[in-house]
Amino acid sequence: MSRRNLIKEEILSIREYVPGRSTNDIAHMYGFDPNSIIKLGSNENVLGPSPMAVEALINHAPQMSVYPSADASELVNALSEYTGFPAHNIAASGPGMDGLIDGLMRLIVTRGNEIIIPAPTFAYYEIAARANGAVPVFIKRDENYAVNVEAVKNAESSHTRMVFLCSPNNPSGNLIPEEDVRAIAEFTHGFVFVDEAYVEFADSSLAHLVNKYDNIIVGRTFSKAFGLAGLRIGYGIMPQWLKLEYMRAATPFNVSGAAIAAGSAALSDKKYLNESIELVRTGRVFLKEHIPFKVYDSQANFVMVDVAPLKARDFCESLLAKGLIVRDCTSFFGAGNSLIRVTVGTKEQNKRVVEWFDEIKDL
Ligand SMILES: *Cc1c(COP(=O)(O)O)cnc(C)c1O
C-alpha 254 – ligand 1 centre gap (Å): 17
Please give the number of the atom of ligand 1 that sits closest to the Cα of 122: 13
Q: Are 117 and 148 in contact (CB under 8 A)?
A: no
CA-only gyration radius of the chain, Å: 20
Element (DSSP H or E) covering residue 282? helix 270-290
Grouping H, G, I as helix, E, B as strand and the rest as coil, residue 331 is helix
Atom 12 of ligand 1 has which residue's CA nearest to it? 197
- Reading the chain (363 residues) residue by residue, the pLDDT tens digits are 788 889 988 888 888 777 777 888 888 888 899 999 999 999 999 999 999 999 999 999 999 999 999 999 999 999 999 999 999 999 999 999 999 999 999 999 999 999 999 999 999 999 999 999 999 999 999 999 999 999 999 999 999 999 999 999 999 999 999 999 999 999 999 999 999 999 999 999 999 999 999 999 999 999 999 999 999 999 999 999 999 999 998 999 999 999 999 999 999 999 999 999 999 999 999 999 999 999 999 999 999 999 999 999 999 999 999 999 999 999 999 999 999 999 999 999 999 999 999 999 887
- Give the per-residue pLDDT at 22: 85
- Give the per-residue pLDDT at 361: 87
Measured from the Cβ of residue 244, the count of other Cβ atoms closer than 10 Å reads 12
Atom 14 of ligand 1 has which residue's CA nearest to it? 197
Grouping H, G, I as helix, E, B as strand and the rest as coil, residue 295 is strand
Element (DSSP H or E) covering residue 39? strand 38-39
C-alpha 333 – ligand 1 centre gap (Å): 17
DSSP 63-125: GTTS---TT-HHHHHHHHHHH---GGGEEEESSHHHHHHHHHHHHH--TT-EEEEEESS-THH
- Residue 91 phi/psi, 5-degree rounding, is -120, 125
Report how far residue 119's alpha carbon sits from residue 333's, in angstroms, rounded to the nearest whole number. 6
DSSP 229-259: GGG-BEEEE--HHHHHHHHHHSPTT-S-HHH
- Give the per-residue pLDDT at 190: 97
Atom 11 of ligand 1 has which residue's CA nearest to it? 197
Contacts of 209 (CB under 8 A, 6+ apart): 178, 181, 182, 185, 194, 216, 218
Grouping H, G, I as helix, E, B as strand and the rest as coil, residue 59 is helix
Pocket of ligand 1 (CB under 6 A): 43, 96-98, 122, 166, 170, 195, 197, 221, 223, 229, 234
- Give the per-residue pLDDT at 19: 75
C-alpha 361 – ligand 1 centre gap (Å): 30
- Give the per-residue pLDDT at 202: 98
- Give the per-residue pLDDT at 18: 74
Full-model pTM: 0.96
DSSP 261-277: HHHHHHHH-HHHHHHHH
Please give the number of the atom of ligand 1 that sits closest to the Cα of 166: 13
Q: Are 329 and 312 in contact (CB under 8 A)?
A: yes
Measured from the Cβ of residue 131, the count of other Cβ atoms closer than 10 Å reads 17
C-alpha dihedral over 244, 220, 133, 117, to 10 degrees? 130
C-alpha 2 – ligand 1 centre gap (Å): 35
C-alpha 34 – ligand 1 centre gap (Å): 25
DSSP 185-240: HHH-SSEEEEE-TTGGGSS---GGGGGT-TTEEEEEESSSTT--GGG-BEEEE--H
Report how far residue 169's alpha carbon sits from residue 362's, in angstroms, rounded to the nearest whole number. 30
Output the CA–CA distances (angstroms, integers) from residue 9 to 6, 31, 110, 126, in the order listed: 9, 41, 13, 15
Residues β-bridged to residue 335? none
Report how far residue 150's alpha carbon sits from residue 344's, in angstroms, rounded to the nearest whole number. 33
